[in-house]
Amino acid sequence: MNGVSIKYLDVYGRTATRRYRTVDQTNLADANDVAELVVGAVSDLILGGIILARKWRREVYAGALTGLANLDEGATFNCDLGGGTWGFVKLPAPKKSNYVLADGSVDMANADVAAFAALFTGAAPRFVVSDGEAVLAIPSGKLDT
Partner 1 sequence: MAIFDCVFSFTDVYGRMSRRNFPIEAINSAAAEAFAASSAPAIQALTGASIDYVELAILNPNALDAQALSNVDEEILINIVTENGHKVRLSVPTFNKALLVASGGLDTSLAAVAAALVVIGDNVLVSDGEVIALVSGGQLAK
Q: Does 136 bind partner 1 (CB under 8 A)?
A: no
Contacts of 95 (CB under 8 A, 6+ apart): 66
Q: Does 64 bind partner 1 (CB under 8 A)?
A: yes
Q: Does 115 bind partner 1 (CB under 8 A)?
A: yes
Q: Which of 76, 81, 86, 134 binds partner 1 (CB under 8 A)?
A: 134
What's the CA gap between 41 and 6, in Å, rounded?
A: 12
Task: Tell me which residues in 8-27 interact with partner 1 (CB under 8 A).
Answer: 8-12, 14-16, 18, 20-24, 27
**Min. distance of Cβ 145 from partner 1 in angstroms?**
18
Q: Does 138 bind partner 1 (CB under 8 A)?
A: no
Long-range contacts of 51-54 (CB under 8 A, 24+ apart): 51/7, 51/8, 51/9, 51/15, 52/5, 52/6, 52/7, 53/4, 53/5, 53/6, 53/7, 54/4, 54/5, 54/7
**Min. distance of Cβ 103 from partner 1 in angstroms?**
18
Q: Does 109 bind partner 1 (CB under 8 A)?
A: no
Q: Does 143 bind partner 1 (CB under 8 A)?
A: no
Spatial CA neighbour of 3 closest among 30, 40, 16, 127: 30
Q: Does 38 bind partner 1 (CB under 8 A)?
A: yes
